[in-house]
Amino acid sequence: MPFQLHIRQNLEAARDHFGPGQVRTFADGTVRIGSDADCECRLDGPEFAPCQVILEVGAGRRGAVTARPGAGSAGTYLNQSPLDGPVVLRSGDQLRVGHWTLRFLRLHGEAARSRAFQGVAWMAKAAIAAILVAEVAIVAWLPRHLHQMALWQSQIARHRVVDVLDRLDRANRKAQPVSGLEREVRLAVGRELKRRADYITEHGAELGAERTRLLYDELLGFERLLEHLAAGTLPPPLPTLDRDAGVQALLAARRQP
């Protein structure tokens, strides 16, 4: 089991601070800590014996790491207790020698991904790909669909105008006027309906939504007028204004002595 030693000289470094070059990593086997040149973790300092501490890594991926004092060494503490014999280290334990602190940290490799995780990851990637394909399809399809809908709505509006126009023309032709005023009104309405029918025949394909709506509103106005005629509720015309009557009255008033 790989592990690290975070080494700190307490007189030269702030608490819990480890500078560059003070972190050392070891894989397995035996790690000797001391001032001897042959030590795997060599530290110069009067506090260290040639072999101050020995770390032994057990077999296997989860082998325990055991710390024991070196031959002829003294003054080694594990956390707050003297290191008098072999002790299995736990991640985070601290070995103290004089003003030096060596923090022990175990390294754990990345866990292998399970089949379930890989299946979920594959499904997530497939879902993301499907969403992207759907978005691209919508972006390509939506403008054409909206344009087609606008054409259909325009055609439907023109058909509505033509239907109302035909219905009003037939109803106006079949009506039997009962007075001269009604006859004149129906003739005028018939002429207006014919003008609009000719306009639609000539320019129907070019009509936009706004112009089509105006035509439809005009036809609804003619429809209300014909309904009043059929029900006899059309108000009589205003009397003719006699523009000369006021002038004659003024002249007559001047002639009086």
State residue 135's pLDDT score.
85
What DSSP character marks residue 204? G
Residue 6 near residue 18, CB atoms below 8 Å: yes
pLDDT tens-digit map of 78-108: 998 999 899 999 999 999 998 889 999 988 7
Are residues 37 and 21 in contact, defined by beta-carbon separation less than 8 angstroms? no
The angle that helices 180-203 and 115-174 make with each other, rounded to 10 degrees, is 140
Rg from Cα positions in the chain: 52
Mean pLDDT in residue range 154-174: 85
Indicate the fold that domain 3-106 takes in CATH: Tumour Suppressor Smad4 (2.60.200)
Among 37-46, 93-102, 103-112, 166-175, the minimum mean pLDDT is found in 103-112
Non-local CB neighbours of 116 within 8 Å, separated by 6+ positions: none
If one compares 58 and 131, the residue with the highest pLDDT of the two is 131
CB-facing half-sphere around the CA of 141: CA atoms within 13 A: 6
φ/ψ of 16, rounded to 5, equals 60, 20
Q: Residue 236 is which amino acid?
A: P
Cα 13 from Cα 11, distance rounded (Å): 6
Instruction: Summarize pLDDT for 184-241 with one digit per residue, the tens.
Output: 888 898 899 898 888 888 887 777 778 888 888 888 888 888 888 888 776 766 666 6
What's the mean pLDDT when you consider all of the chain?
82
Q: Where are the domains of the chain?
A: 3-106, 146-231
Q: For position 87, what pLDDT does the model report? A: 92
Least confident of 93-102, 174-183, 246-255: 246-255
The pLDDT, as a whole number, for residue 246 is 66
* Alpha-carbon distances, residue 13 vs 45, 78, 102, 104 (angstroms): 15, 20, 13, 18
**Which pTM value belongs to this model?**
0.42
